């Protein structure tokens, strides 16, 4: 198998480039408290990368809410969340994010965002990285949420690339599954219990070097090739 011909990176936003995961958590926690529904940080872990509606359904479980109440709660949670992202600045980029984006751009690698969030564009602007990004796939782009491959396939298409030319960086299990289902290379950030299915697992973007990853992916491609030819 030839070396992987990587031409693009697709970054998940929340939990990868910035820690809006915590802001989503605080907004859900406020809503859950108002509704007297038990919720905590641990329960929130399962909501990483999960769409707004699916997250709410998970939180309310089998409590009998009407569709109108569900929609009102989704709006309420979003209001809390949108309020909390107003104060974001480039300082809210996670360590290593800017260095990696700049290294990739210098290497001629295209950059896309693949976020389930309908607020992704606002967050990208607040973070000051809009001019470093070639394509955005967000909560408005496709019907099927992660773990379906659709969002990342949409981003690759916008970048003009084939799936196997793309690396996805994700912090969510559902996001890693979506990347693999799309036929892309997956880098998981966080504990192996969460993102262990990815080709490469790292604690964070800090110290992440494109050159190192390239070597790792080539090794994996070589290993796969020798497994299939044996």
Residues that bind ligand B16 (CB under 6 A): 12-15, 21, 24, 47-52, 55, 78, 115-119, 139, 172
Does 138 sit near Mg ion (CB under 5 A)? no
Decide which of Mg ion, ligand B16, none touches 104; Cβ closer than 5 to 8 Å per partner kind.
none
Closest residue to ligand B16, based on beta-carbon distance: 115
Does 92 sit near Mg ion (CB under 5 A)? no
Does 147 sit near Mg ion (CB under 5 A)? no
Residues 8, 49, 114, 173: which binds Mg ion (CB under 5 A)?
49
Q: Report in angstroms the alpha-carbon separations of 207 from 49, 58, 98, 202, 229.
A: 24, 35, 11, 10, 35
Decide which of ligand B16, Mg ion, none touches 78; Cβ closer than 5 to 8 Å per partner kind.
ligand B16
Which is closer to ligand B16, CB of 118 or CB of 214? 118
Which is closer to ligand B16, CB of 6 or CB of 47? 47
* Strand duo 166-170 + 185-189: pairing: parallel
Which is closer to ligand B16, CB of 49 or CB of 147? 49
Do 121 and 141 touch, CB atoms closer than 8 A?
no
Nearest-angstrom CA–CA distance, 155 and 136: 6
* Among candidate residues 198, 10, 200, the one with its CA nearest the CA of residue 113: 10
Active site residue 138: no
Q: Name residue 168's beta-bridge partners.
A: 10, 186
Nearest-angstrom CA–CA distance, 158 and 118: 18
Number of H helices, E strands in the chain: 10, 6
CB of 57 to ligand B16, least distance (A): 11
Active site residue 12: yes
Catalytic residue annotation: 12, 14
């Amino acid at each position: 198998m030839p070396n992987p011909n990587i031409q693009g990176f697709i970054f998940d936003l929340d939990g990868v480039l910035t820690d809006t995961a915590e802001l989503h958590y605080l907004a859900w926690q406020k809503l859950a408290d108002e509704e007297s529904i038990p919720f905590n940080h641990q329960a929130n872990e399962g909501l990483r990368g999960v769409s707004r509606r699916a997250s709410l359904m998970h939180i309310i479980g089998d409590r009998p809410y009407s569709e109108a109440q569900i929609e009102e709660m989704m709006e309420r949670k979003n209001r809390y969340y949108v309020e909390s992202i107003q104060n974001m600045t480039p300082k809210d980029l996670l360590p290593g994010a800017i260095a990696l984006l700049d290294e990739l751009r210098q290497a001629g690698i295209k950059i896309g965002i693949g976020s389930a969030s309908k607020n992704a564009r606002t967050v990208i602007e607040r973070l000051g990285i809009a001019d470093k990004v070639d394509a955005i796939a967000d909560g408005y782009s496709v019907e099927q949420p992660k773990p379906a491959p659709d969002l990342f396939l949409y981003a690759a298409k916008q970048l003009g690339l084939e799936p196997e030319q793309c690396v996805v960086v994700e912090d969510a299990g559902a996001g890693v599954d979506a990347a693999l289902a799309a036929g892309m290379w997956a880098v998981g950030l966080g504990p192996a219990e969460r993102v262990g299915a990815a080709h490469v697992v790292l604690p964070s973007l800090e110290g992440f070097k494109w050159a190192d990853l390239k070597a790792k992916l080539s090794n994996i491609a070589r290993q796969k090739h020798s497994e299939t030819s044996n």
